[in-house]
Structure 1
Amino acid sequence: MVEESEKKQPEKKRKRNKKEKKQSVNKKLNPWKIAFLALIGMLVGILLFVGIRVTQVREPNYDSSKAVPRSGNPVLSIQSNKQQINELISFYLEDFQKDSEVTYDFYLENEAMLAGNFKILGHPIQFNLYFDPYVMDDGNVQLKAKSLSIGTLGLPIKDILEFVQRDYNLPEWVEVMPEEKYILLRLDKFQMMNGMFIRADKINLIDDDIRVSIYLPEDNSTDSSATSETSSSEE
């Protein structure tokens, strides 16, 4: 009996030593400290993710080789106003964005405005970006960004344009230039369903005077001119 009790004593000592070691390890690993470090790691990861998404830029989504040559005289010149143009834009964007998760609005007041939103840490942030439109010599339209309304955030216009370029589903004929702070409407790439295309002649939002010209496809215009020449020669 004495020998058995002597054998049990070392075993009890070993168990006690193991228990003491575990307690000392638990004391060293402060749970509050672990939680704090985990929180810091999570915040750093979120900030890195947001930083990468904001600074990442994709290539421009247009190909100048697809530009439609516009020559000769227009078949129709149209004078319109902001209300009529806004109805056309709304109809076009509603159809264009019907399968898009991220949507935006564009309309004309005394200045052109792009309204949309993006998310920061899961919270939607709404913005309104204002432009001055200019008709270029080639009949395209440049929208020069002039101001930004985005609540209490102090993001620059360049960052918002980079976000629009990267995350918005834009038509192929819309080119975003964040560095230069403008959007270019490549009307020479925009064709209607019947093949006709348009050219901007004048945009005066203050006086509500918007003028565009309608052109036939180059092949059709060539055919029609050839037909007229043939008929005149027969006469």
Structure 2
Amino acid sequence: MKRLKDIIMENKWRSAFFGLVLINLGIVLWLLALIFLPTDYTLVNVDRERTNTDAEFTIISTKDNLEQLTNEYLNEMSSETIFNYSISLEEYVELRGNVRAFDQVIPITVKLEPVVQENGDLILEQQDISLGKLPLPSNKVLEFVEKNYELPEWVRVNPDEENIYVALTQMETESNFQLAADRFNLNSDQIAFKIAVPKDSFQLAQQVVANNDMEFNIDSQ
């Protein structure tokens, strides 16, 4: 039988590991926040390309605006849990948090490199995961997430490749909008997403743009 001390130590490590799992789930929630949360300070440029079926919008942001928006969202999310998160957009996307383990508050850091795919999907490549000063194997953390958590079909965790594949183009939205990543270059501070709006929803989209004081440019073809 396990000694009481061993059981206590195992439970504490489990708590710390669970915090890492929540960090990875937070990554997915963070990505959704970038796309869906409204903001008055995000720079938005809208271009329309008329086709028989839809109109296309390009939403552009800067690292500072995106970082501020995301941290506001994470603060709201953290208020409902015992974990605190923050995002820093520098050379990599750095997601930082704290978990309590061994009667101490231990910092957790996850470094990710977003890579836009030709089809508009996004891969989040994990560069580093650390608990305090202790580096942890990314593939083991991702393997636990893959086996124990039900994620949307368009989010695929790849432990062997140490990345998270976010199939934005396969997301289903209530308004039938189609999403795609256009640019996510942190070094040059260029971040953009494309949204294809069905033709019958275009008038509604125009109204949304007007209500949010977005710049709306229409180019006739």
After TM superposition, is the score higher than 0.5? yes
Instruction: Give the fraction of aligned pairs with identical amino acids, expressed as a percent.
Output: 28
Match of 1:92 in 2: 73
Residue of structure 1 in register with 2:90 after alignment: 109
CA RMSD of aligned residues (A): 4.4
Give yes or no for contact 2:54–2:198 (8 Å, CA) kept in 1.
no
Change (3 A) 1:217 1:106: farther
Unmatched 5+ residue regions in structure 2?
Answer: 29-51, 206-221
Question: How far has the Cα of 1:172 moved from its partner?
Answer: 8.8
Q: Residue in 1 aligned with 2:168?
A: 187
**Equivalent position of 1:121 in the other structure:** 102
TM normalised by structure 2 equals: 0.57
Matched, 1:46 2:8: yes
Q: 1:98 to 1:187 in 2, by over 3 A?
A: farther
- Structure 1 residue runs of 5 or longer lacking an equivalent are 1-39, 63-70, 225-235
**Aligned partner letter, 1:113:** E
* Mapping for residues 135-150 of structure 1, pairs under 5 Å: 135-150=116-131
CA contact (8 A) 2:128 2:135 kept: no
Higher strand share: 2
Separation in 2 of the partners of 1:124 and 1:172?
34
Higher RCO (C-alpha 8 Å, min separation 6):
2
Query: Given residue 137 of structure 2, which amino acid in structure 1 is its aligned partner?
Result: P
Question: SS of the counterpart of 2:11?
Answer: helix
Q: Distance between the aligned counterparts of 1:80 and 1:174, measured in 2?
A: 23
Please tell me the residue identity of whatever aligns with 2:83.
Answer: V
Give the counterpart letter for 1:105 in structure 2: S
SS at match of 1:88: helix
Q: Return 144-153 or 130-139, whichever deviates more.
A: 144-153
Q: Which runs of 4+ in 1 moved over 6 A?
A: 163-168, 170-173
Instruction: Name the stretch that deviates more: 133-142 or 201-210.
Output: 133-142
The alignment of Structure 1 onto Structure 2 pairs a total of residues equal to: 172
TM value normalised by structure 1: 0.54
- Structure 2 distance, partners of 1:79, 1:175, is 26
Amino acid of the structure 1 residue aligned with 2:68? E
Which has the greater radius of gyration?
1
